Amino acid sequence: MSLIKDLKSNSLFPLTEDKTTLSNQTEIVGISTELKHMSKYKEILRVILAISIIVVGVTHFAIPEPYVKIMPPQLPYPLGLVYLSGFYEILGGIGLLVPPVSQAAAWGLIALFIAVFPANINMAVNHIKLEHIPNSPWVHIIRLPLQAVLIAWAWWYTKPSDREKQASLIPKSLIPQELEW
């Protein structure tokens, strides 16, 4: 049997079948413990995602050839699209670390991860070999679902975060309190 903890009175009561009456002032004991454990790492993982996506974005400008190579041939201006996606990766990574815009940045990264997916499909379907990446069907098979992991990872940051704990490039004392984030 699962228990509900009322956060106002701090008392426990049984979880009924009718879960529609639950408010945001209650938590399911057991599940909440796991979520609290995960949220302990949420901000560290935010920084890892942000830095990773910024680095990948920079590589779109530093060495665009591999990205151009996997671009579906039906799309016009492949180099321009590579630069555009690199720009938005950098912008999204920085945005994840700016609390007032971090949720919007997360949604933008989700859209970007979906938008670049055809290039990953093109690479897998046409067995496009890239330097320094093993040319194996297994690499292509693993890479495609990885996009879903990135989408889920970014989605985690579309929800409001704890103001005190959220990772930020900007000192929180400089962020106006009246901004909703």
Q: Please write the tens of the pLDDT for every residue from 119-128.
A: 999 999 998 9
d(CA 67, CA 123): 10
Domain count, the chain: 1
- Is 179 among the domain residues? no
Mean pLDDT, rounded, for 143-163 = 93
Place of tokens 């499909």: 121
d(CA 78, CA 65): 10
- Is 95 among the domain residues? yes
Q: Which domain holds residue 149?
A: 41-170
Dihedral, 154, 156, 162, 164 alpha carbons, nearest 10: -40
Question: What's residue 181's pLDDT?
Answer: 66
- Is 33 among the domain residues? no
d(CA 96, CA 167): 8
Mean pLDDT, rounded, for 111-120 = 96
Question: What's residue 133's pLDDT?
Answer: 84
pLDDT confidence band for 5 (50 / 70 / 90) = low
What are the structure tokens assigned to 164, written together?
A: 């005190």
- Is 21 among the domain residues? no
Q: Are the C-beta atoms of 60 and 85 separated by less than 8 Å?
A: yes
